[in-house]
Amino acid sequence: MEEVTEGLFRGIARFIKWLFIDMLIQSIFYGCGYATLKVVTLGTYPKPNRIHEGLCIAVGVVLWFVLIGVFAYLG
């Protein structure tokens, strides 16, 4: 019985972890990256008909690391 509850708990914990990470990436990193690309390229990139999800997420992650570095330097 103990193995069943332990397995169930691990499954629920993995789902919550996956859900949190997915929400973090999609809402924060993608949103910041998309907005940054639009501002830096003056609205020409990314094009509306193409999917640039990976690039938007990468730019968002870099932006957050730069902001953390700036705040750490100033603080």
- Each domain of the chain, given as residue ranges in start order, spans 2-74
Q: What is the pLDDT of residue 45?
A: 79
The token pair at 37 is 């690309």
Q: What is the pLDDT of residue 47?
A: 74
Q: What is the pLDDT of residue 28?
A: 85
The answer to whether the beta carbons of residues 25 and 54 sit under 8 Å apart is no
Q: What is the pLDDT of residue 71?
A: 93
Q: CA angle, corner 74, sides to 69 and 75, nearest 5?
A: 95
The answer to whether the beta carbons of residues 20 and 10 sit under 8 Å apart is no
Q: CA angle, corner 25, sides to 56 and 37, nearest 5?
A: 20
Q: What is the pLDDT along the chain (75 residues), one digit of tens a residue?
A: 677 788 888 889 999 988 888 888 888 888 888 888 888 888 887 777 677 888 888 898 899 999 999 999 998
Cα(42)–Cα(19) distance, rounded to whole angstroms? 33
